[in-house]
Amino acid sequence: MRLLVRARGYVEHIRDRGQEKAEKVTIPGYRARRWVVERTHSWLNRSRRLLVRWEKKTCNYLAFLHLACAQLIFAKILVFE
């Protein structure tokens, strides 16, 4: 398996048998913020043009992504004022 993974150009992270699992490293004062990413993806999925990618060119898709982000920011600004 390791050779197959290396042949494809990846760096393997496979534990040897009998090797103990490393302890999870925690940084004091740091919390995982996965929910922020999930929430943002949910907001962007409201934009059908991003949810179903119709554009063939990356630059067009990126332009619509920027437009969707600008719409989100503008809507948030209007709420706070």
Using the Cα atoms of residue 43, residue 49, residue 51 and residue 53 in order, give the sign of their dihedral: negative
Residue type, 7: A
Q: Where are the domains of the chain?
A: 55-81
Q: What global pTM score does this model have?
A: 0.56
pLDDT digits (tens, 9 = 90+) for 8-57: 888 888 777 877 777 878 888 888 788 888 998 898 888 888 888 888 99
Interval 66-79 mean pLDDT: 91
Most confident stretch, 1-15, 44-58, 62-76 = 62-76
pLDDT of residue 5: 86
- DSSP per-residue letters across 8-67: TTPPP--PPTTPPPPPPP--TT----HHHHHHHHHHHTTSHHHHTT--SSHHHHHHHHHH
pLDDT of residue 71: 93
